[in-house]
Copies of this chain bind each other. A is one copy, B any other.
Amino acid sequence: MRLPAAERRQQLLVAALEVFAERGFHSTSMNDIAEAAGVTKPVLYQHFESKRDLYRELLGEIGAELQNAVAKATVDPTSPRGQLEQGFDAYFCWVNDHRNAFDLLFSAGTQREADFVAAAHRVEDAIAEVVADNIVIEGLTRERRGLLAHGIVGLAEATCRRWLANPGDIDHRELAAQAGELAWFGLRGIRGA
């Protein structure tokens, strides 16, 4: 069945996300994606310059979404601890609703392709920045704060992976509460230089 360009493009992105997330970048051929979308290869090339281009576009969209979700959840002027927990919750919630996207960003073949890696890092950095802004400890190097923030972002990532990998269905709120506690009390314990 034929579709107008805009819709087709969107559908291709959806299909590509699914296949890429499942099989990774390199193990996925353009044919695979086309087939998954019920069309043939050249159609893909009508909408995207190249395979890498398609992948990049996905990464960009997805990364912006996640970044946005976290940023939006943390501007709300509540207690610092609340901000932290809300941030985690937004993160986990988003992941819960976009597992494929999460896989694509942080598990699938995004690794080691220079520009891809850069895209994923940009997201992590952006989120870490938000976290870092909420770390208020006297006598701490900027660099040290950055390390802590990245550590916490990594904590969120790893927690997610374990969460998704295991069948035990824990609500993302409980998870956020736990991770939030861990991070919060951890940060409170840090002594400034």
> With A108-B112, A148-B178 in contact, do A161 and B166 touch (Cβ < 8 Å)?
no
Given A178-B147, A181-B186, also A109-B108 (CB < 8 A):
no
Task: Please give me the residue from chain B that is nearest to A184 by CB atom.
Answer: B189
Q: Which residues of B contact A110 (CB under 8 A)?
A: 111
Determine whether the beta carbon of A109 is less than 8 Å from that of B112: yes
Q: Which residue of B lies closest to A153 (CB)?
A: B158
**Chain A residues in the interface with B (C-beta under 8 A):** 23-27, 107-113, 117, 124, 128, 143-144, 146-148, 150-159, 161-163, 166, 168, 170, 175, 178-179, 181-191
Q: How far is the CA of A80 from the CA of B193 in the complex (A)?
A: 23
How many copies of the polypeptide does the oligomer hold? Answer: 2
Q: Which residue of B lies closest to A20 (CB)?
A: B112
Q: Which residues of B contact A175 (CB under 8 A)?
A: 147
CB distance from A172 to the nearest CB of B (A): 12
Contacts of A155 in B (CB 8 A): 151-152, 154-155, 158
Q: Enumerate chain B residues within 8 angstroms of A146, measured Cβ to Cβ.
A: 162, 166
- Beyond A23-B112, A147-B178, list 11 extra A-B contacts (CB 8 Å): A24-B113, A107-B112, A108-B111, A154-B154, A154-B157, A181-B190, A182-B189, A182-B190, A184-B186, A185-B186, A186-B187
How far apart sit A117 and B157, CA to CA, in the bound complex (Å)? Answer: 16
Q: Residue on B with the closest CB to A152?
A: B155
